[in-house]
Amino acid sequence: MRYINEFKTYLKVEKEISPNSYSAYIRDLSEFEDYSKVSENKVTRNHIRGFLSFLNDKFNQPITRRRKLTSLKMYFQFLENEKFIKKDPTKGMPSPKVESKEPQYLTEKEIKKLMTVIDKGRDEVIMKTLVETGIRLSELAGLNIEDINIKNKTIKVKRKGNKEQTIPINQNLNSLLKSFIKNKNQDEPLIKSIFKKRMSKRRLRILVKRYFKKADINKDHISVHSLRHSFCVRLLEKDVDLRTIQILAGHSSITSTERYLHVSSERLRKEVAYAEVN
């Protein structure tokens, strides 16, 4: 692609997107280039439609096709805005519809069961931080010792889009972290592998899944991200308002937080009993 270097600079400097999103955009564009084999100024809507049809046969996942179309839309909109092309061929194209799935989460009983099988030390810090702050796996992997403020009981987290947010932590987690980071250098990673290097997201994911298995938690579609969902659900069930949950979870939109409203249906069913007129 002729203007890919300019687009890379745009993503890094102006959009300030995360490394993962950056890699995904570039990978999607490379895949489209391999498929279409035409220069940007010759791409038509038919090329885009053909690519989506190709993806449908290859992946059969609407969410995958939508993400790749989003990459193309961003790229061609950039090209049009910068006058590299006359017309954006993706303009007005509808995105594939994606069925909204209920967030999978662990109940409070399951969380307690999970925590009983965790090894002390590093693994306890990993699991308690994920469970009690709701931060993403990538956010945990990116933490350094200097991001932990024991005095103020806070953690500085780098959210999506490289935005920093300082979130409060409870006293028990604060005490655990205080002991864990004692006598460590401020600039070193909070979580290290056995090779004394920053633990990767992949290794963290494997570790968490191992503890799911050890705790005999076998719910359908359960994942590491379910710990984040569980955090939001627990707050909601303790009557924390949506705006507060949105801030603590780092959701850019309240719509993301509203997904958790339906998961408290059992509690709501019990509460509605108070409206009964005898």
- Specify the 3-state DSSP secondary structure of 144: strand
Q: Which of 68, 136, 158, 229 is catalytic?
A: 136
Whose structure tokens read 């993806």?
Answer: 55
Residue type, 41: N
Helix axes 122-133, 108-115, angle to 10 degrees: 170
C-beta separation of 12 from 61 below 8 A: no
- Does residue 136 have an active-site annotation? yes
- Does residue 225 have an active-site annotation? yes
Q: Which of 153, 160, 184, 198 is catalytic?
A: 160
C-beta separation of 120 from 106 below 8 A: no
Distance between CA atoms of residues 44 and 54, nearest Å: 16
Q: Which of 65, 128, 228, 234 is catalytic?
A: 228
- Does residue 205 have an active-site annotation? no
Half-sphere exposure of 50 (CA within 13 A, CB side): 13
- Does residue 243 have an active-site annotation? no
- Does residue 47 have an active-site annotation? no
- Does residue 159 have an active-site annotation? no
Q: Which of 73, 153, 184, 225 is catalytic?
A: 225
Please name which of 75, 26, 68 lies closest in space to residue 50, comparing C-alpha atoms.
Answer: 68
Q: Which residues are catalytic?
A: 136, 160, 225, 228, 251, 260
